Amino acid sequence: MQGLEKSFKHLKVLRGVDLEVARGSIFALLGSNGAGKTTVVKILSTLLKADTGAARVNGFDVATQAADVRESISLTGQFAAVDEILSGRENLVLVARLRHLKDPGAIADDLLRRFSLTEAGTRRVATYSGGMRRRLDIAMSLIGNPPVIFLDEPTTGLDPEARIEVWQAVKELAEGGTTVLLTTQYLDEAEQLADRIAILHEGRIIVNGTLNELKQLLPAPEVEYVEKQPTLEDVFLTLVGARTDKEQR
Ligand SMILES: Nc1ncnc2c1ncn2[C@@H]1O[C@H](COP(=O)(O)OP(=O)(O)OP(=O)(O)O)[C@@H](O)[C@H]1O
Ligand SMILES: [Mg+2]
């Protein structure tokens, strides 16, 4: 995307945003609340029109080839969009039917397995934890194998274990060749997942690079002799233990 600008009335949200995301990579767009991350994702997924600038997704122009763009992408929004009354499996089958795919049941079972939801699959989504919902939401967005996926704050509000489960799922997607653009406010999420990271601030991309490139922007740390303290996250994860499928039983 090049020179994207977007204002809402007098509020200039994007003031010229340039970004390239390599195919099959994970790109993290960081920024504070209100920085314009969701606005970028909406423009790329054709839900909003930019005032000026151009963007291509999977080779298609978002302004003039919107239908092709929509066929190439899936969007998982900031808030999970699953139907509570249905079971996880029914949600997946429904979406596969809506997309006129062959054998919706097999597609659903495959996705349930990939997202460790097989046992929970027949239960109503209303009984799922936040992490399970989010995984189901991402699984739903993969139906039809879109080459590009947008994840808007995929782990906001999740506990540390659920976040790690979502990260695992996202990594597997990229390993399978899917291009992932995710937004996040969590620096560790970008560190864990992203091949490249950009920071959106005051309407512009102020840095863009790999984690190592970003770290080199700061002066080399002076050596300090302090005992290394575990982080709270280390403590939490050690005490609670790695979760596999047990939350679902
Ligand atoms: N439809 C709209 N009408 C008016 N203002 C809007 C609209 N959508 C977004 N904004 C404003 O644009 C700015 C950027 O919003 P955006 O949702 O893109 O931020 P964000 O980086 O996704 O923030 P968050 O981290 O809170 O999700 C905010 O100030 C928001 O109030
Ligand atoms: Mg947002």
Q: What are phi and psi of 195, to 5 degrees?
A: -75, -40
In tens, the pLDDT along 101-153 reads 999 999 999 999 988 899 999 999 999 988 888 889 989 988 888 999 999 99
CATH number, domain of 91, equals 3.40.50.300
What pLDDT score does 177 carry?
A: 92
Q: Closest residue (by CA) to atom 10 of ligand 1? A: 8
Q: Closest residue (by CA) to atom 3 of ligand 1? A: 8
Q: What is the mean pLDDT of the chain?
A: 88
Domain that holds residue 91: 2-248
- pLDDT-derived band at 81 (thresholds 50, 70, 90) equals confident
Mean pLDDT of 169-185: 91
Q: Which atom of ligand 1 is nearest to the CA of 31?
A: 21
More confident of the two residues 172 and 81: 172
What pLDDT score does 130 carry?
A: 83
Q: Which residues line ligand 1 (CB under 6 A)?
A: 8, 11, 13, 31, 33-39, 78, 185
In tens, the pLDDT along 183-228 reads 998 888 998 899 999 999 999 998 899 988 887 777 666 666 666 6
The per-residue DSSP string of 7-66 comes to EETTEEEEEEE-----TT-EEEEE--TTSSHHHHHHHHTTSS--SEEE-EETTEETTT-H
Strand partners, 73: 148
Residue 95 has pLDDT above 50, yes or no: yes
In single-letter form, the type of residue at position 61 comes to: D
Domain count within the chain: 1
More confident of the two residues 105 and 243: 105
